[in-house]
């Protein structure tokens, strides 16, 4: 991030514009996805790559932006699902209010979340289950971080994000059927993978997948 916090509001305006552009990109992706997931994925790659290279609020360090090219595995339709959100017993209104919890964080601060349920993902190397969280502070939103066997080698050691609706990273779903579109080809590294000055919530142990997910963004 370019440090423009000189009291003029430049930093805040850059961040606001970044959020608008990311939200617009995901809105376009959600329009394309039902008819052509690969085209939606390619559009996501192009749009995200441009933002990371050119925008003042890119998480990529300034000196690395001009030639930055994110690495991704080829699109794999076997890791794209519409998953049903299965509520936790503690998320049942009859069981009382949702308890708040803190997820691991790459920085000193912590953010509050609620675990609202889980999804089953029938991966090619074996089914897995991921907890689904709701961010209780900030701007709210669904959050599904995960770790897998690629972490620390070809992907960031602390995991990746599948859904982060607070940052508009959300492919949609059907609330009537309680489903979420979960496509691991769109999974990506948190900002702290590019620059440690960023503090990011990370996947808890329960969202560790034992097998490698060779889809989505990679570092090597």
| 60-89 pLDDT tens trace | 999 999 989 999 999 999 999 999 999 987
pLDDT digits over 193-213, tens only?
999 988 899 999 999 999 999
Alpha carbon 141 to chain centroid, angstroms: 11
Sign of CA dihedral 184, 202, 176, 93: positive
Cβ(107)–Cβ(74) under 8 Å? no
pLDDT band at 56 (very low <50, low <70, confident <90, very high): very high
Q: What is the pTM of this model?
A: 0.90
- Residues 29-55 have a mean pLDDT of 98
Rounded to an integer, what distance in angstroms lies between the CA atom of residue 26 and that of residue 32? 10
pLDDT attached to residue 100: 79
How many Cα atoms sit within 13 Å of 61 on the Cβ side? 8
Centroid of chain to Cα 125? 22
Question: Residue 161's CB: how many other CB atoms inside 10 A?
Answer: 24
pLDDT given at position 137: 75
User: CA geometry: angle at 163 spanning 95 and 101, to 5°?
Assistant: 40
Q: Is the pLDDT of residue 4 over 80?
A: no
DSSP letters for 92-160: SGGG-SPPEEE--BSSS---EEEEEEEEEEEETTEEEEEEEEEE-STT--EEEEEB-TTBTTTB-TT-E
Residues 89-148: tens digit of each pLDDT: 755 555 555 677 888 888 777 778 999 999 999 999 999 999 999 998 777 899 999 999
pLDDT tens figures, 143-195:
999 999 999 999 999 999 999 999 999 999 999 999 999 999 999 999 999 99
For the cut 50, the answer to whether the pLDDT of residue 14 exceeds it is yes
């Amino acid at each position: 991030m370019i440090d423009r916090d000189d009291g003029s509001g430049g930093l805040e305006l850059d961040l606001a514009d970044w959020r608008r552009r990311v939200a617009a990109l995901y809105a376009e992706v959600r329009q394309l996805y039902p008819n052509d997931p690969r085209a939606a994925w390619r559009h996501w790659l192009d749009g995200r790559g441009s933002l990371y290279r050119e925008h003042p609020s890119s998480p990529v360090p300034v000196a690395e932006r001009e030639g930055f090219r994110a690495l991704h595995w080829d699109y794999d339709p076997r890791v794209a699902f519409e998953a049903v959100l299965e509520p936790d017993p503690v998320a049942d209104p009859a069981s009382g209010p949702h308890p708040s919890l803190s997820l691991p964080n790459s920085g000193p601060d912590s953010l509050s979340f609620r675990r609202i349920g889980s999804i089953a993902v029938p991966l090619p190397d074996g089914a897995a289950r991921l907890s689904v969280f709701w961010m209780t502070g900030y701007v709210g939103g669904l959050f599904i971080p995960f770790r897998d066997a690629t972490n620390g080698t070809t992907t960031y050691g602390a995991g990746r994000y599948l859904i982060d609706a607070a940052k508009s990273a959300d492919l949609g779903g059907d609330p009537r059927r309680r489903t979420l579109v979960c496509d691991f080809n769109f999974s990506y590294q948190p900002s702290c993978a590019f620059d440690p000055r960023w503090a990011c919530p990370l996947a808890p142990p329960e969202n560790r997948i034992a097998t490698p997910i060779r889809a989505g963004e990679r570092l090597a």
